[in-house]
Amino acid sequence: MTIKAYGARASNLALEPLAITRRAPGEHDVQIDIAYCGVCHSDLHQVRSEWAGTLYPCVPGHEIVGRVSAVGAHVSGHKVGDLVGVGCIVDSCKHCDECEDGLENYCDHMVGTYNGPTPDAPGHTLGGYSQQIVVHERYVLRVRHPETQLASVAPLLCAGITTYSPLRHWKVGPDHKVGVVGIGGLGHMGIKLANAMGAHVVAFTTSESKREAARALGAHEVVVSRNADEMAAYAGSLDFILNTVAAPHDLDAFLALLKRDGTMTLVGAPATPHPSPEVFNLITKRRSLAGSMIGGIPETQEMLDFCAEHGIVADIEMIRADQINEAYERMLKGDVKYRYVIDCASLAA
Ligand code: NAP
Ligand code: ZN
């Protein structure tokens, strides 16, 4: 089937309307009419080939929510009319240790929702800035939030799981003082989730304008990280730091804020490396520097259910598909509170 989408034909070109095709649903496939798709900074990195290797045309989008419009003969978990989501993963090998453990995000053959290998035309996957998508049932999530919140649920499919997974893995809870660095799409979800897990949350932002807003998201304290005196007051005080910043920066300034045995986990994925941290900042307090990538399918469902139970959604600014190029420029300036979401009905116009 031919549908409308928004994407780029080359790394140096703006996104534009495109016609793309989707396969007919196979036996285990779910066909989804996309209602909304969140705009992740990874979309911008990839559509501009900042991580190298982007295939064109590139249709980004891996924060997809919508309604099931058809299912294959062997699909048991989803039916026509269900509200569902698709995140960053649409396929994996299904039998390696990682897949068996429900950590498809670490499978060597994970297929991303866009820019991944597929036998479907044009030979690589095309994402959620589009009217419809067809996905193997294993990678389709149930949405239990009320339908009225659907647009604000979309960012949970990447920003939500990418922050939930490390907070769970490093066992963040009521006894923890947790730093969240960078208050964008990921960071604002990190604040909400760490707060809901019972942690004491300290938000770190470069934007003075987000000082009050970060408190409204659930931060107990807010530090403007450009202010050295404010930073110094937190030296050696945090158990865990979730660093979401999308650009290279001085990691030592944050490592110095960890207690003995504390960990800073990087989820931000800048196009060029951070300066290497000072080893004495690690060894003198047995600190760890770690990384984490999205999350597996079972944990993504757990996160969605946790958010539905706690009434957590993203704070969004809704845009039409034809506003996406402007939205990217504003995202680069940190000018979004806190996630753009495309109303995919606008693609029909
Ligand atoms: P975003 O909405 O643009 O937020 C990034 C935030 O980082 C900004 O709002 C800003 O917050 C802070 N920042 C400070 N200095 C910056 C600079 N020079 N350039 C850009 N940002 C700066 O991005 P996002 O969607 O949350 O994604 C954040 C990063 O995580 C991206 O690199 C993305 O590719 C990556 N990511 C990784 C995974 C994973 O699996 N690990 C998943 C999704 C996304 P303040 O204004 O508060 O300083
Ligand atoms: Zn993402």
Residues with CB under 6 A from ligand 1: 40-42, 45, 158, 162, 182-187, 205-207, 210, 244-247, 267-270, 292-294, 331, 334, 336
Report the separation in Å between the CA atom of 255 and the middle of ligand 2, taken as the mean of its atom positions. Answer: 25
- The pLDDT value recorded for residue 59 is 98
Q: Which helix (H) or strand (E) holds 234?
A: none
Alpha carbon nearest to ligand 1 atom 16, residue: 247
Residue 170 CA to residue 187 CA, distance in Å, equals 17
| Closest C-alpha to 216, from 225, 205, 229 | 205
Report the separation in Å between the CA atom of 187 and the middle of ligand 1, taken as the mean of its atom positions. Answer: 8
For 231, what's the count of Cα atoms within 13 Å in the CB-facing half-sphere? 17
Alpha carbon nearest to ligand 1 atom 23, residue: 41
Ligand 1 atom showing the smallest separation from residue 187 Cα: 26
Residue 97 CA to residue 274 CA, distance in Å, equals 31
pTM of the prediction? 0.98
Report the separation in Å between the CA atom of 336 and the middle of ligand 1, taken as the mean of its atom positions. Answer: 11
Alpha carbon nearest to ligand 1 atom 11, residue: 182
CA distances from 188 to 15, 179, 313, 338 (A): 26, 12, 10, 7
Q: For a ligand 1 pocket test, name from 42, 63, 158, 180 the mutation site with the most ligand atoms within 8 angstroms of its C-beta.
A: 42
Residue 6 CA to residue 80 CA, distance in Å, equals 25
Report the separation in Å between the CA atom of 244 and the middle of ligand 1, taken as the mean of its atom positions. Answer: 5
- CB neighbour burial string for 169-206, b if at least 16 within 10 angstroms, e if fewer: ebebeeebbbbbbbbbbbbbbbbbbbbbbebbbbbbbb
Contacts for 168 with CB less than 8 Å, ≥ 6 apart: 299
Ligand 1 atom showing the smallest separation from residue 40 Cα: 25
CA distances from 128 to 38, 115, 118, 207, 286 (A): 8, 12, 16, 30, 42
* Closest ligand to the CA of 189: 1
Per-residue pLDDT 10s for the chain (349 aa) are 999 999 999 999 999 999 999 999 999 999 999 999 999 999 999 999 999 899 999 999 999 999 999 999 999 999 999 999 999 999 999 999 999 999 999 999 999 999 999 999 999 999 999 999 999 999 999 999 999 999 999 999 999 999 999 999 999 999 999 999 999 999 999 999 999 999 999 999 999 999 999 999 999 999 999 999 999 999 999 999 999 999 999 999 999 999 999 999 999 999 999 999 999 999 999 999 999 999 999 999 999 999 999 999 999 999 999 999 999 999 999 889 999 999 999 999 8
End-to-end Cα, the chain, rounded Å: 18
Q: Helix 159-169 to helix 185-196 angle, to the nearest 10 degrees?
A: 40
Report the separation in Å between the CA atom of 250 and the middle of ligand 1, taken as the mean of its atom positions. Answer: 15
- The pLDDT value recorded for residue 185 is 97
- The pLDDT value recorded for residue 334 is 87
- The pLDDT value recorded for residue 64 is 99
Report the separation in Å between the CA atom of 47 and the middle of ligand 1, taken as the mean of its atom positions. Answer: 16
- The pLDDT value recorded for residue 349 is 83
Q: What residues does 258 pair with on adjacent strands?
A: 238
Domains, the chain, in order of start with CATH, read 2-157+295-348 (3.90.180.10), 160-291 (3.40.50.720)
- The pLDDT value recorded for residue 239 is 98
Report the separation in Å between the CA atom of 348 and the middle of ligand 1, taken as the mean of its atom positions. Answer: 30
Residue pair 133/16 in contact by the 8 Å Cβ criterion: no
